[in-house]
A = this chain, B = another copy of it.
Amino acid sequence: MRSLETLQKEIASGDVRALARAATLVENQTDLGRELIAALFPQTGRAMTIGITGLPGAGKSTLVDQLTKHLRKEGRTVAVIAADPSSPYSRGAILGDRIRMQSHFDDGGVFIRSMATRGKLGGIAQTTLEMALLFDAAGLDVILIETVGVGQDEIEIARLADVTVLVLTPGMGDDIQAIKAGIMEIADVFAINKSDLPGAERLEQEIRAMQSLGGESDRANAAPVRRVIATEGHGIDELLTAIREVFERRGRQNTRQEVWEFRLQEMLRDRLLKDIDGESLREHAKRVAAKMEDPYRAVDELWQSR
């Protein structure tokens, strides 16, 4: 096992193998991984982090692919975090960069990481944050985070990103109602993908109508809406411009106190669970299941027994 100092040095020098090893340490929530993030923490805060969220089938992966290509053309280095084990990044065009395993990520300029930690202790949001901090400290310019769907996890992940793009497609009229609660509020930029399909105009109107209902009719503050056709690379430039405008207006999110208030709470929760005696937890769970004890009393006793 490499020492903390060696790893830190290798990452700072742009060693892509060291970065891959470090990402694994972080993903597996090892002590060394946490020490590394703690040590690298002062060097973070340079990257721009973009969250890409939306329903399955909306074309998020294709959009991430196109954004990556554009950013590379500009000479930016890019990290992609696919916060979902079923993400198609295990194959396809982008993967080339990973397979080659270039000795220095500046050779390829793209570093991709799919995560398989869904549901594990610590949660996907915490691991995603640590991964983003790692890539930030390693000097990558832009970090793209793709989420799987539109649930609570995705809302948490969006809170980590500097700018969150919600990808929608025409013809999901019912869906827009269904996903409205919780998720529409987190969109900093709306991307209407597959915008050559009928209904793109109507979808844009629906978004605008929703924004005026929400009191965001003031154009300057309302989340911009951009039409794209990700498969053909149309509108990517304009989308990226909108993302950058939002970023410039709002600034970096992980330098915000509220974001860390939430994050520290989550980390405290994980810590508590490590502090509870497993045997005692199982015993109480058994008693509650048998209706010999109510759940609130069980929690009281577990709480006091620490």
* A positions within 8 Å CB-CB of B: 34, 37-38, 41-42, 44-45, 55-57, 84-86, 118-119, 124, 148-155, 172, 174-175, 177-182, 254-261, 263-265, 267-269, 271-273, 276, 281-282, 284-286, 288-291, 294-299, 302-303
| Subset of 10 A-B contacts with CB under 8 Å | A41-B291, A45-B291, A55-B56, A149-B150, A152-B152, A259-B285, A259-B289, A260-B295, A260-B298, A268-B272
Q: Are A178 and B86 in contact (CB under 8 A)?
A: yes
Q: Are A57 and B260 in contact (CB under 8 A)?
A: no
- Bound-complex Cα distance A173 to B274 (A): 40
Q: Which residues of B contact A297 (CB under 8 A)?
A: 38
User: When A and B form their complex, which 7 residue pairs have the shortest distance between CB atoms, in order from nearest?
Assistant: A151-B151, A56-B178, A260-B285, A86-B181, A261-B285, A38-B294, A41-B294
Q: Which residues of B contact A152 (CB under 8 A)?
A: 118-119, 124, 151-153
Q: Are B181 and A118 in contact (CB under 8 A)?
A: yes
Q: Are B154 and A255 in contact (CB under 8 A)?
A: no
List 11 additional A-B contacts (Cβ < 8 Å) besides A38-B295, A261-B285.
A34-B296, A42-B294, A56-B175, A56-B179, A57-B175, A148-B179, A149-B179, A151-B154, A257-B282, A257-B289, A271-B299
- CB A298 to nearest CB in B, in angstroms, measures 6
- CB A194 to nearest CB in B, in angstroms, measures 12
A151-B149, A268-B273, A289-B255 given; A281·B296 CB < 8 A: no
Task: Count identical subunits in the complex.
Answer: 2
Which residue of the partner chain B has the closest CB to A179?
B56
- Bound-complex Cα distance A268 to B124 (A): 20
Q: Are A276 and B272 in contact (CB under 8 A)?
A: no
Q: Are B178 and A148 in contact (CB under 8 A)?
A: yes
Q: Which residues of B contact A256 (CB under 8 A)?
A: 289
Which residue of the partner chain B has the closest CB to A253?
B289
Q: Are A56 and B261 in contact (CB under 8 A)?
A: no
A150-B149, A181-B85 given; A276·B268 CB < 8 A: yes
Q: Are A271 and B178 in contact (CB under 8 A)?
A: no
